[in-house]
Amino acid sequence: MRTTFSLLLTYFLHLTTPHIGWTIPLNNSDDAMVEMPLVTNNMKAPLVADLDVSSLNKQLKLYIDIAISTTFTSKVKEIVEHSQDELRTTMLTTYKERLQESKTVYEEDLAHLVDGFKSRLGSLFSDLTENVTDLIDNLEEWKKGYTQTISEKYRPVNLPRDCTDIKKSNTKSGVYTIYPDNVNGIKVYCDMDVDGGGWIVIQRRSERKVKFERTWNEYENGFGEVAGEHWLADGLQRQSSGKFSAIDRDNSGGNNYAVSHGAWWYKSGSNTWLNDDQRENYWKKYIGPKSTMMIRRL
């Protein structure tokens, strides 16, 4: 559509041609020029001209389109590329953080799982060891009970079973041979002086020259001299205070009291020990370096 406007000139212009063309620079570029044709009325009077701006509009539109295309599009592209770089960097950083968090959580869960497995395995092993030990103790007690029953039934005449039988014919303390199973004889020290006599000495410590920090088998087989410091064989039966423990076999619930306090029947604590080589004997209090343990048939 053709558009016109009126331009009032405030000065007089002598016209020599019917048409005059104005050129308006838009910027310093040669291509940015707008030509505007003027239409006159050949009168020497203040000029009132009608300007045809259709060409101006077309040139302005082309200039604006080019300016937008070259400037705005470039800026938008730069902004988009920058935003993409920032987004890529942010996503990569977030991914690394999430990956590290997942790794940390996984490692913690795995550590808890392994610790739980170890604890459970240790508990099962401890229970199994205790059950096996109980079974062995029960078998030993059954064996001894059965052997005693058979021995009583077929016991030869005049074979002393313990120091109580020895006392019937001899009231002097000393070393004697007894036959607990009525077959095999063992030498023991019989105390005939304490509380009516008839006692079998199963442990004696006087000069503390005999080492008592020994293994389970050594306690089971006995060691030392019967007439002096010694431990009598097979004195490891379960007592009311707990199971017997040695330096190489712990039955104190994992406390290893035998290593620190010597072999003994430990249960919930080490409030008694008579076989420690490093310290004096203790029976709810320190009682000195000497000790004697005796048993007697009721």
- List, for residues 97-110, the tens digit of each pLDDT value: 888 888 888 888 88
**Amino acid letter, residue 3:** T
Asked if residue 138 belongs to a domain, the reply is: no
Give how many domains the chain has, as a whole number. Answer: 2
Domain presence at residue 102: no
- Banded pLDDT at 291 (limits 50, 70, 90): very high
Tokens 């039988």 belong to which residue? 165
**Which range of residues forms the domain containing residue 168?**
163-295
Q: Does residue 171 sit in the same domain as residue 48?
A: no
pLDDT tens digits along 276-288: 998 899 888 888 9
Alpha-carbon dihedral angle through residues 4, 9, 12, 13, given to the nearest 10 degrees? -40
* Stretch (H or E) spanning 175: strand 174-178
Residue 106 included in any domain: no
Q: Is the pLDDT of residue 181 over 90?
A: no
- Give residue 26's pLDDT: 47
* Residue corresponding to tokens 């029960």: 138
Residues 216-222, mean pLDDT to the nearest whole number: 92
Does some domain include residue 169?
yes
Question: Mean pLDDT over residues 208-222, rounded?
Answer: 93
Report the CATH number that the domain containing residue 282 is assigned in CATH. 3.90.215.10
Flag whether 117 is in a domain.
Answer: no
- Residue 209: Cβ-neighbour burial (10 angstroms; 0-12, 13-18, 19+): exposed
Q: Rounded to whole angstroms, how far apart are CA atoms 259 and 94? A: 56
pTM: 0.49
Rounded Cα gap, residues 189 and 174, in angstroms: 5
Residue 298 has pLDDT above 90, yes or no: no
Q: What is the mean pLDDT of the chain?
A: 76
E-assigned strands of the chain? 4-8, 19-25, 33-39, 48-52, 174-178, 186-191, 199-205, 223-224, 230-231, 243-245, 264-266, 272-273, 281-283, 286-288, 291-295
Window from 35-39, 162-166, 239-243, 271-275 with minimum mean pLDDT: 35-39
Task: Looking at the structure, tell me whether residues 167 and 47 fall in a common domain.
Answer: no
Which of 16, 33, 52 represents a domain boundary (last residue)? 52
Tokens (6 digits) for 242: 């707990």
Q: Convert the pLDDT of each residue in 107-129 to its tens digit.
A: 888 888 888 878 887 777 777 87
Which of 33, 52, 71 delimits the end of a domain? 52
Compare 35 and 257 and report the one with higher pLDDT. 257
**Residue of 241 and 205 predicted with greater confidence:** 205
Q: Does residue 135 belong to any structural domain of this protein? A: no
The verdict on residue 115 lying in a domain is: no
Residue 128 lies in a domain: no
Residues 48 and 171 both lie in one domain: no
Q: How many CB atoms lie within 10 A of CB 228?
A: 13
